[in-house]
Amino acid sequence: MSFFIETLVGGLLAGVMYSLVAIGFVLVFKASGVFNFAQGSMVLCAALTFVSLRDKGIDFWLAALITLAVMVLIAIAVERVVLRPLVNRPQITLFMATLGVSFVIEGLAQIVMGASVHELDLGIVDTPIEIGGVQVSQFDLVAAGTAGILVVALSIFFNKTRVGIALRAIADDPQAALSIGIRLQTLWQIVWGVAGFVSLVAGLLWGARQGVQFALTLVVLKALPVLIIGGFTSITGAIVGGLIVGAGDSLAEIYLGSLLGGSVSTWFSYVLAVASSWSGRPVCSAKRRSKGFDACRRSAQKPSKGSTRRTRPRRACATGCAQARLWCCSPHSRAFRL
């Protein structure tokens, strides 16, 4: 039994690592509805920049700060050069553009920083510890803790800040958001910047585990089933999806591997993803939020007593339910004037 628990715990912790990459996809998708194919390249670029700076003797935190600045610059460049000219184009066009961005980032990163493999030491001990007779990796625990902090920070960002709320509004209906004065370009830069920050965190943890090398881009392979299971718009879903994929892969490899000829984990997560799609919606879908929007819309249409702000349709919100949704879901109408 302890072996089963150990495998399960190991799988869950491994799944958290996948979630870290999946969160980057979720952020961009939430804000723009675009599946960012360049996420893996951003993970590589962040880790490679950081480790190259460290190799030059730059202090850890300063290197992290400079890397973050580089990622923000990339975010601005991507918005200016790639996304802005493609506003209002079909989603597939934007997706293909991110595919191009991924090749450009990978190529430039290799030209500037070389193709060598780098060791990345974060100073985290990776010897196993025993908890109740079950061996657990200290590194994986730190990674799980980091993912937890990241999720909390992003939740606060999305739910409590004006920028975050505006991002949600854009995710819901970009046209309506634009009509009430939200600057789409600025928000895209911000969200790509935040995705860059998430890439840095994921790149550091994955880089510490496997070395900083080109193969870091391949970690996205496992982020895809995580996204299908957890949903493309939910950060919590990314975590839950990661846990399901990690645990599923580990248990399947151990208990089904010998029966099915091994390497079950190559495809098992995709089986889980397909199975989850049969249920009609991801584990953490936007369904619940939509209900919230509907409730908001109703409340906007039927003003409650004593509430002047909610009952007075704003100029930009007066023309349709999408605008009403944006308006009513904002705790403060000023949130949209960015």
Partner 1 sequence: MSLWKQKRIMSKAVGLAALALSAAVGTSASAEEAKTQYFPLATFRVGAYASSGIPVWAGEIDYFRYINEVEGGINGIKLVWDECETNWEVEKGVECYERVKAGKNGSPVPIFLPHGDPISKALTEKSVADKIPLVTIAYGRTEAIDGRVFPYSFPVVFSFWSEASSAVNFIAEKVGGKDKLKGLKIATVYHDSPYGKETQVPLAHLAKTYGFEDIQIPVPHPGNEQSAQWAKIRQLKPDWVFLRGWGVMTPVAIKTAAKVGFPVDHIIGGIWSGSEEDVRPAGAVGKGYLAVTPFPAGANFEIHQKLKKYILDKGLSDLKDPKSFGSVYYNSGVDEAIVAVEAIRTAQAHFGVRPINGEEAQWGLEHLDLSEKRLAEIGATGLQQPLKLSAKDHEGGGAGKVLQWDGEKWNVVSNGWVKSDRDLLLPLIYERAAAYAREKGITPRDATN
Site residues, partner 1 (CB under 8 A)? 3, 6-7, 10-11, 13-14, 17, 107, 110, 114-121, 126-128, 135, 137, 139-140, 206, 209-215, 217-219, 221-222, 249-251, 253-254, 257, 262-263, 265-266
Tokens of 176: 């309506």
Best CA proximity match to 94, nearest among 169, 168, 192, 19: 192
Cβ 270 to partner 1, closest distance in Å?
A: 12
Cβ 213 to partner 1, closest distance in Å?
A: 6
Place of tokens 């007779």: 133
Phi-psi region of 125 (alpha: psi -120 to 50; beta: other; left: phi over 0): beta
Q: Which residue, 118 or 314, is less far from partner 1 as judged by CB?
A: 118
Q: Which residue, 181 or 262, is less far from partner 1 as judged by CB?
A: 262
Q: Which residue, 20 or 75, is less far from partner 1 as judged by CB?
A: 20
Q: How far apart are CA 202 and CA 196, in angstroms?
A: 10
Q: Which residue, 109 or 324, is less far from partner 1 as judged by CB?
A: 109
Specify the pairing of strand 134-137 against strand 128-131: antiparallel
Q: How many residues can be counted in the chain?
A: 338
With beta carbons less than 8 A apart as the criterion, state whether 265 and 253 touch: yes
In sequence order, what are the beta bridge partners of 212?
A: 118
Cβ 170 to partner 1, closest distance in Å?
A: 33
With beta carbons less than 8 A apart as the criterion, state whether 18 and 245 touch: yes
Cβ 66 to partner 1, closest distance in Å?
A: 22
Q: Which residue, 20 or 180, is less far from partner 1 as judged by CB?
A: 20
Cβ 188 to partner 1, closest distance in Å?
A: 29
